[in-house]
Amino acid sequence: MQNSLKHTFNYLFENDQNLTDDQPKKQTQKLSSLFKKSYPSFVPALETLTMDDKFMNALKGDEDTEDKLVVSTKTVKCCDLIPLQNEIDVVKTLDYFLKDNIERKDIIKICSDKVYNPKELSKKDQPIVISGEKYIIDGHHQWASIFILNPEASIQVKDIGEYKNPNDALKLSHIIIAALNSEKKKSKATPQINKNLLKLSKEEIKSHVQKMICDEFVYNYIHANIDEDGENLGEGFKNKTQVIERIVNNCLQLQKIDVYQNERSMMPQLDDGNYLADAQQGKVNLSDIKDTMNEHKKQLNHWKRLAGIL
């Protein structure tokens, strides 16, 4: 009976266009229907709506206070962040620094107790974007690279606000991108084509690290783990074998994090363009969008109560 009620609830909630007595305006109704969808259904549905000029015009902001996205700069530890995608590209994380693509000064700072700005890692002014002080919205590969070097690293991030369900923050990010993406450029991550670090065994990780690691990185990493008094910060941390062991163990620690199962191809790409900056200036109709999100939550709880889920 409970499963039957849940099935009925899900069907009614995602397909009924007349859930309230007060009918919203047509474009707001489309937005309301969109937010009712599960995240995997939301993304392609939004793509379809981007071809609707009236809907897209309704997403434009007036640059007033209510439309401005509040973005906070915060300092968090790598190990406290939770990834929302289930794929971490080996080439974009491990290979990036194993081939000595990260400057020595960056490795030293990441391995210290100083706050590191991930923008320095990409050289493209791309921040790590999070929600609710812990959920990664964009910047998974930058985060993973830093984590593997030092899980305890303190990093600077951009926080777009707290949402009870982190998938709501992903939906909002996609809406922001769509509203600002007048040229219909790609706003999602490209499909995974390399090995997924989250799925590799310890032996596979170790074999890959041994194959890709260069002597310059080994030297820089050992130097980065020596304190000001010349004491080694890692026990017996003096040679290539021990560097490899540290990197492999950090990869295994990353794998233990409870990752959300969103495919990488469904993730928003806020680093393409000035999306955050434009949203902060009020160029997206966030006032109506957030009102719709809140109304959606009220309706969702109402139907859950009727279905006996709450």
In the predicted structure, residue 143 carries a pLDDT above the cut 90: yes
pLDDT in tens, 214-250: 999 999 999 888 765 555 555 556 889 999 999 999 9
pTM given for the model:
0.83
- What would the mean pLDDT of 287-303 be, rounded to a whole number? 69
Confidence of residue 305 (pLDDT cuts 50, 70, 90): low
Confirm if 172 and 288 have CB atoms less than 8 A apart. Answer: no
Give the model's pLDDT for residue 12: 43
| H helices, E strands: number in the chain | 14, 6
**Phi then psi dihedrals of residue 73, to 5 deg:** -90, 125
Altogether, the residues listed in the chain come to a count of: 310
In the predicted structure, residue 272 carries a pLDDT above the cut 90: no
Give CA separation, 115 vs 120, 121, 153, 195, 217, in Å.
Answer: 12, 13, 7, 30, 21
Give the model's pLDDT for residue 257: 93
**Tokens describing residue 306:** 């009727």
